Amino acid sequence: MKVILLQDVKALGKKDAIVEVNDGYARNYIIPKKLGIEANGQNMNNLKLQKANEEKIAKEVYEKALSLKGEVEKGEVVVAIKAGENGKTFGSVSSKEIAKAVSDQMNLEIDKKKIQLPDAIKTFGVYQVDVKLHQKVTAVLKVKVQEA
């Protein structure tokens, strides 16, 4: 019997996979535990429509990330930190502060977890910071750190 898996099943396969199993295994284990459904014409059509919808949504999210990349790379944010004598800074600039600066200065919402800082920014200057907007899209944001 052919079965469409609704969840990952360890010995059979991943979710949405179509697998061939023994009739008894399907009727007594897979279907009653809602791990899968019989692969008849209607269920196959539903699976095809669901996959098409997921692909459409993924494409829209990707295109949105590309447009956001263009907006992020056009601008520059300025972050001010306090400094003592001889230009020595107090603390460092975190991804949270950069995300707040992007929100205030560029009117864009970027999650602080998407901002990738290799090291803490502890000196004044202009930095190139990577912002991972999507699995395949990474933007480069200019961050200017100056004295408050």
| Beta bridge partner(s), residue 76 | 142
- The pLDDT value recorded for residue 99 is 92
User: Is 90 exceeded by the pLDDT of residue 90?
Assistant: no
Q: What is the pLDDT of residue 118?
A: 85
For residue 87, pLDDT over 80 is answered with: no
- Residue owning tokens 């990349």: 69
Residue 83 has pLDDT above 90, yes or no: no
Q: In what order do the strands lie in the sheet with 18-20?
A: 18-20, 2-5, 36-38
pTM over 0.85: no
Q: What is the mean pLDDT of residues 25-50?
A: 94
CA distance 137 to 86: 40
Mean pLDDT of the chain: 92
60 — pLDDT class (breaks 50, 70, 90) = very high
Q: Are 129 and 140 in contact (CB under 8 A)?
A: yes
The per-residue pLDDT for 89 is 82
Q: Answer whether residue 17 shows pLDDT above 80.
A: yes
Query: Exposure pattern of 67-101 as b/e (b: 16+ CB <10 Å)?
Result: ebbeebeeeebebebebeeeeebeeebebebbbeb
